[in-house]
Every structure is written in structure tokens, then in C-alpha cells.
Amino acid sequence: MKTYRIKKNYLILNDQESVKSHVKKEDYFGTIATILSLIEQDLNSLKTNNKKELLKINQTLKNLEKDLLYLQKNYQINNKNK
């Protein structure tokens, strides 16, 4: 399994161990939704000349956040190897 890092201030899921921990606690989808919300807040604080593109990105992040919160509420991750 590859190791990876999410850069910037979104260190809630920063390596394999933290991902495993969130899956075990059954809050993985909610945690990702939170990260997306933080990214959205950062985007909203940026000044951009292309407001249309920024709105599109914000809407995509909101849709992903809603989908992940739905998954958090209704589903659970299971290990395929068990």
C-alpha cells in the first residue's frame, strides 16, 4: 500500500495510519467532508478574476461534501480481505 500526504492545513488524513484510524472509528466519510469544507473556505478567501470558475469549484465541493455526509450516515467501509 502506498503512503501519501495531504498537503496544506488538511492534516486530518495525513497518512495510512490516520486513514485506518478514521475507518475504524467509522468517521472516514465525515472527515473527508470536513476537509472539503476547509478547502472550500480557503477557495472562498482567494481573490480570483474568474468568478464563474470559482463558483463551479465551490458547487462541486458542496456536492461532494453532501455525498460524503450521506455515505457517513448510511454506509460503512468493510475490509475486502476479511
- One pLDDT digit (tens) per residue for the chain, 82 residues: 555 444 454 455 666 777 778 778 888 888 888 888 888 887 777 766 778 878 888 888 888 888 888 888 888 888 888 6
Contact present, 34 and 27 (Cβ < 8 Å): no
What pLDDT shows up at residue 48? 67
pTM flag (> 0.75):
no
Cα–Cα dist 64/29, whole Å: 10
DSSP state of 9: T
> For residue 32, what is its C-alpha cell?
473527508
